[in-house]
Amino acid sequence: MTKLTYLNEPGVLYNLKRRYALNEIYTYTGSILIAVNPFTRLPHLYNEYMMEQYKGVRLGELSPHVFAVADASYRAMVNDSRSQSILVSGESGAGKTETTKFIMQYLTYVGGRAAIDDRTVEQQVLESNPLLEAFGNAKTVRNDNSSRFGKFVEMQFDANGRISGAAIRTYLLERSRVVQINDPERNFHCFYQLCASGKDAELYKLGHPGSFHYLNKSKTYELEGTNNEDEYWKTKRAMDIVGISRNDQDAIFRILAAILHLGNIEFSPGKEIDSSKIKDPTSNFHLQMAAKLFMCDPDLLVSTLCTRAINTLEGAIIKALDCSAAAANRDALAKTVYARLFDWYFHLPSFFQGYCAFLLVENINKSIGQDVDSKVQIGILDIYGFESFKNNSFEQFCINFANEKLQQHFNEHVFKMEQEEYKSEKIDWSYIEFIDNQDVLDLIEKKPIGIIALLDEACMFPKSTHETFATKMFRNFSSHHRLEKTKFSETDFTISHYAGKVTYQTESFLEKNRDYIVAEHCNLLSSSRCPLVSGLFGTLPEESLRSSYKFSSVASRFKQQLQALMETLNSTEPHYVRCVKPNSVNQPQIFENQSVLHQLRCGGVLEAVRISLAGYPTRRTYAEFVDRFGVLVPELMLGSYDERALTKGILEKMKLDNFQLGSTKVFLRAGQIAILDMRRAEVLENAARHIQGRFRTFITRKEFVKTREASISIQAYCRGCLARKKYMVKRETAAAIIVQKYVKRWRLHRTYQQSHSAALLIQSCIRGFIARHYFSVIREQKAALVIQSLWRKWKVIILFQQYRQATVAIQCAWRQKVARRELRRLKMAANEAGALREAKNKLEKKLDDLTLRLTLERRLRAAGEEAKSVEILKRDKLIESLSAECAAAKSAAQSEHDKNLLLQRQLNDSLREITMLRSSKIMTAEAERENSNLKNLVESLSKNNSSLEYELTSARKGSDATMKKLKDVEGKCNHLQQNLDKLQEKLTNMENENHVLRQKALNMSPLNNMPMTTKAFPQKFATPIGLPNGEQKHGYETPPPAKYLASLPQSLTRSRRTRMPVERQEENHEILLRCIKENLGFKDGKPVTACIIYSCLLHWRAFESERTAIFDHVIEAINNVLKGEEADGRLPYWLSNTSSLLCLLQKNLRSNGLFATPSRRSGGTLGIGDKIVQTLRSPSKLMGRSDNLGQVDARYPAILFKQQLTACVEKIFGQLRDNLKKEISPLLSVCIQAPKSSRAQPGKATKSPGIGAQPPSNSHWDNIVKFLDLLMDTLHENYVPSFFIRKLITQLFSFINIQLFNSLLLRRECCTFSNGEYVKAGLSLLEKWITDATDEFAGTSMHELNYIRQAVGFLVIHQKRKKKLEEIRNELCPNLSVRQIYRICSMYWDDKYNTQGISNEVVSAMREEVNKDTQNLISNSFLLDDDLCIPFSTEDLSIAIPAIDYVDIELPESLHHYASVQLLLKHHDPQPV
């Protein structure tokens, strides 16, 4: 701050306010650090990286920081071997405690002592803070956690500058707060924590704090944002950390509870004059609890509180105390107990020394570990600041007295010592006046007529009151300019402190200053059975027993402790940190000018600024200066011994001026010593470089000479070795030739003999193998012929039996239908009542529903069986390629033969059951004949009807049992089918016989003789009845008779279809695969591949098939093509084909439900016979023809295929979109920032003032336009529908908007005026491209660029300071949020015209809205998110894509040779055959 141009109060205040708005909370005033409380967390200022930056750096070289002050104290301690102290001062709530924590954190970092139990010294000190805060902190008017004691932390170091220990010293505890508090303040935190401790509170008989006298004087029991119960457990954890045992912890909390109970004891006048007694049972209860918690005698406690013992020569005299004296005695006991519980060392008179308790603070220091041998320390003082409230009492008087002492210490160090040194050195210096507070200190502490002396004198007289004290004080200090008498009170007085005038009320001065040392209190508590309580109050010596009620002044003891603290500080070199509280509401970003200016004046900051600027902060003795900087002028050092002259010559040679030469020292201005150090470092560096060069030359020459001599010796030796080696090689070569000649001859001879014998052995083995193989082939062929003949014989027998059984089953079913029809006719004729008919109708509906469910289950089971058969067929092809097929077929045939025998027995049992069913039907027919003969007899007819209904019910039950057995047989047949499918290829020729036998079975049934005018049965008889052998399935693909029966109610055309042979299916799959793999192109804008696939599927009637795998092959083939190496380039082609195929399916397929139910007619429902006859009469239906040529009824596989194709279209679209985003991302990353060559120079306007922004100077934006043109050409070449192009271009421009906008917000170099012009010019190119592309293909792409267009437009507007927030939000940037606008404003800078940005008022308003939104929003991100959803649905495709005429598409020549497409070649019509 000393470098400010205008060094006055407004300039200093403005500087602090601007830095505070930027979260720059630290500022230097010379060597004094000013820390403004931010009231928010700034973790980036206090991490390990920041500590490393300030390590070893001279104060002032980096930005102001508390770490710099800590490092300066540490370096001064190491270099000068002198203890240091850091005084952290300021008002309550200014952040002194947090600043102390940061200083300890840095000293621990640079001290570097290893952690003990994984905890550093700083961690150990901070872990003890909850304990100290619980017992020493309380809520005041200005601060919810104000320290009511002084804390002096000593960081102890060894000779090497390593931390060797630490200790905490406490001073000046405000003990009167235990018994006296004002609203809205609170007592010490530990009392409220204990009351909220739950079970522990119940154990000590504690309740709400409002029920205790020491706590209910203020109505504030809870603190905002603090839970007393949680704080209680933190306090207990801190006790565990510092090493307090559980027994001692219980004793401490018992003492606290006893103090609360002690405060609730009330007294009433006794029987004698001036005597007192316990008032009521409630007070007696609290007395008993206090005695129980103190573990002392209750009667002795009563005697101690209500009486006083006076020792005389004749003996002790017991004097009763009145109610007020007893209450004062009670409060004195409470304060004494709490103070001894807390204090580090309780300063008593000499005869009480040795009986004080080292409890809380002592255990803390033991836990941390002190070093008693340490020579140097760094002390950190954290003490309560200056206080001035509406009502100021004795506590504020003591606190402000302590701050006056510290201010005097500050004045002596900064002002007095510096100016006195200037005088002693006799330099040319003009004296600067400063405020000296010595007269205030004399007013307070001077003897014999200081305020403290007068207060002690008044306290010694029992009848003295605050009026007599005030009168005597005004009489003695009537002429003192620092003391004033208030106008409206005779007892209040005002002192002009260094920080301002404070008015004190003297009503409670005498009571709070009296601290009697009562022998009865010590005797009472020393007799306690609790070791901790008795240790606090040891046995008093003999001389102390002479006076049982000795007066002790709190103010005098406070003065002695303060003097000891000042002696400690005077023995060290101080460093100052002034903490400033910016506002009274404890909220961030609020700066109250008057409050801050008052604190700066009180702290002497402005005086320090003025003196530091005008003085000479750097001073050295002549000997030190010459010894250090004499190397700069070596020519002056020769023959000269006058150090003062040498100093002057050095400074003149360095061209430094405005220095002063004193008697023994030289005085330099700020920064001059740094210049000298820099010159000295350059000289020493050049000298060292010269010495190093000479030394390296000597070493290198010496090594060269040695190397040359050694090389000559090595060369001579090597030449001799080479000559000898060459001679030996020649001699060995001649000998080797002779040896090789004989070895080669021997090897060739041995090789010939081995080859000859091996050839003979191989020939014999081969001849034997061929003979054995020929024999085994002949034997296998014979065995295969035998097996085949037996297998064909067995298979024909099985088929004949099955057809015969099916024929018999059909005949039985038909006869059963006829009998039921006749029975129903007779019943309707005999029964005229309507009730029976309604009951039968209900039963018929139930049977109809059950039959429909059975039909659906059969079809689902058939669909599963078809899928299984396809999978088994694939596996069979692999099995047939094995060489051991014959042996496997033999074993399978044997197992199948055994299973068929078991199945045959089951079928025989089913036939027997059918025979029984026939007999029951015959009996029913006889009953019907009897009913026709006895029509006139109503009663007998009713009985016969009942018997017939009973028989019918039993028959139905038998039929249900048969159905269950049929299901069991069906499961076994499924297992049989899996085994028989292996021989399917060998039995394809038997399918024709199968069809012939089925036709004969239908012709043999009585359907041909049925009249056409037969009356229709009810709906329940139209459903076929299953038979025991009805649902058996063979080993090949021919449907069994039962399946035909199940499908007769719907259509006989479907039952007459046969499965396509395996070769035909493979051929169809190959046709579709070739269409998919080959690029067939387009014809008249229509995709050839999609049209051919749809024509083939329609021609093969795949859409009407209930079981087919051809759709899965199509989807699998498309997916395989998209997984290939060139898949990315074929995405537009397949997007066009798949969308066209999907459009054809949506336009031409009609879904009537997965399983169609029989339609009901107005005259009734056709029975099974009617439908068979109608089917036989309509042979065109058997051929599969239909008159409805527009749409095709789609079955379940076709519907599933349409869904899979929809998913495939969405997948291709998403993959194409993602690939485009990947390709355009590198182009966008270089377009967001203007190249250096195209940026405008700061302060220079454009050469052409009448012309707008110039186009980009490079081709980055042109590359994006070329990319879009190439994309559009590719999509048009593949005839992609305009609907997809519009959606794709829209999402691509949305991605461009997101990328450019996010990059703009994340990079500060992009938020400039010139870069805005560059991006705006590029956006104009994109807008021109969108206009040229038309709305048919570009759609709403222009609106997708709104975010980046508005942001860039905001960057390039002029006169931003005149823009209001509402104008920016509503007109300039309506789509941007306040957080995004604030981000742009905070990062913007004008690199072209050097103009200012948005006004501070607008920025502050936006910051407030951002802070409010931060508390409400789930995510505080200001970036845009990319949309990855598919922007269309199936209904959108059916509406947007026009219908496609696929009839005129011709097949390519590569498919003409396939038999499956010959009909398409002849007629060019996809009508199915």
How does pLDDT run across 1425-1443, given as a tens digit for each residue?
Answer: 877 788 888 777 777 777 7
- Asked whether the predicted pLDDT for residue 929 surpasses 90, the reply is no
**Radius of gyration from C-alpha coordinates of the chain:** 55
Query: 526: which strand partners?
Result: none
894 contacts: CB under 8 Å, gap ≥ 6: none
The strand pair at 1149-1150 and 493-497 is best described as: unpaired
**Two structure tokens written together for 352:** 């009480």
Three-state DSSP class for residue 111: helix
pLDDT for the residue 1398: 84
Question: E strand or H helix at 875, and its extent?
Answer: helix 834-880
CB 128 within 8 A of CB 238: yes
Q: pLDDT of 81-122, one tens digit each?
A: 889 999 998 887 788 888 988 998 898 888 875 445 555 566
What 8-state DSSP symbol labels residue 1308?
Answer: G
Q: pLDDT of 202-221, one tens digit each?
A: 999 999 999 999 999 888 88
660 contacts: CB under 8 Å, gap ≥ 6: 425, 427, 428, 429, 616, 666, 667
CB 1305 within 8 A of CB 1383: yes
Residue 722's pLDDT band, with cuts at 50, 70 and 90, is: very high
- Residue 604 gets the label, from left (phi > 0), alpha (psi -120 to 50) or beta, of left
State the Cα angle at 214 between 213 and 220, rounded to 5°.
95
- Asked whether the predicted pLDDT for residue 275 surpasses 80, the reply is yes
917 contacts: CB under 8 Å, gap ≥ 6: 812, 816, 955, 958, 959, 962
Mean pLDDT of 324-353: 67
Which of 338-347, 815-824, 1229-1238 is least confident? 338-347
The binding site comprises: 90-97
Residue 1032's pLDDT band, with cuts at 50, 70 and 90, is: very low
pLDDT for the residue 729: 93
- Asked whether the predicted pLDDT for residue 1170 surpasses 50, the reply is no
Q: pLDDT of 1352-1364, one tens digit each?
A: 888 888 888 888 8
The binding site for ATP comprises: 90-97
pLDDT for the residue 670: 63
Mean pLDDT of 588-605: 82
**Two structure tokens written together for 1397:** 């940005």
pLDDT for the residue 1421: 67
Q: What is the DSSP string of 365-399?
A: HHHH---TT--EEEEEEE-------SSB-HHHHHH
**Two structure tokens written together for 1103:** 């859409």
pLDDT for the residue 1060: 46
CA 912, 917, 920, 921 torsion: positive or negative? negative
pLDDT for the residue 163: 85
Mean pLDDT of 600-622: 71
Percent of the chain's residues with pLDDT above 70: 76
CB 658 within 8 A of CB 641: no
**Two structure tokens written together for 120:** 């550093």
- Residue 578 gets the label, from left (phi > 0), alpha (psi -120 to 50) or beta, of beta
Pick the closest to residue 551 from 587, 589, 522, 513 (CA basis).
513
The larger pLDDT score, comparing residue 3 to residue 265, is at: 265
C-alpha 1429/C-alpha 311 separation (Å) is: 96
CB 169 within 8 A of CB 176: no
Longest dimension (CA), the chain: 166
CB 112 within 8 A of CB 51: no
pLDDT for the residue 651: 87
Residue 882's pLDDT band, with cuts at 50, 70 and 90, is: low
Which residue type is seen at 134?
Answer: A
- Asked whether the predicted pLDDT for residue 479 surpasses 90, the reply is no
Pick the closest to residue 289 from 323, 254, 336, 327 (CA basis).
254
**Residues with catalytic roles:** 92-93, 97, 143, 146-147, 385, 387
The strand pair at 500-504 and 84-90 is best described as: unpaired
C-alpha 998/C-alpha 799 separation (Å) is: 11
pLDDT for the residue 345: 31
**Two structure tokens written together for 834:** 């309507």
Mean pLDDT of the chain: 77
Residue 657's pLDDT band, with cuts at 50, 70 and 90, is: confident
Most confident region among 71-75, 607-611, 668-672 by mean pLDDT: 71-75
Hey, what's the torsion of the CAs at 572, 573, 578, 579, to 10 degrees?
Answer: -50
- Asked whether the predicted pLDDT for residue 1154 surpasses 50, the reply is no
C-alpha 83/C-alpha 379 separation (Å) is: 8
pLDDT for the residue 988: 52
Residue 1023's pLDDT band, with cuts at 50, 70 and 90, is: very low
Question: Listing from the earlier edge strand, what are the strands of the sheet with 493-497?
Answer: 483-485, 493-497, 500-504
Percent of the chain's residues with pLDDT above 90: 16
CB 313 within 8 A of CB 359: no
Residue 1042's pLDDT band, with cuts at 50, 70 and 90, is: very low
pLDDT for the residue 698: 94
Q: pLDDT of 215-260, one tens digit each?
A: 998 888 898 888 989 999 988 888 888 778 888 889 999 999 999 9
- Asked whether the predicted pLDDT for residue 1055 surpasses 60, the reply is no
- pTM beyond 0.85, yes or no: no
pLDDT for the residue 516: 66
Q: What share of the chain is helix, strand, coil (3-state, %, to 5)?
A: 60, 10, 30
Mean pLDDT of 1257-1274: 83
Three-state DSSP class for residue 512: helix
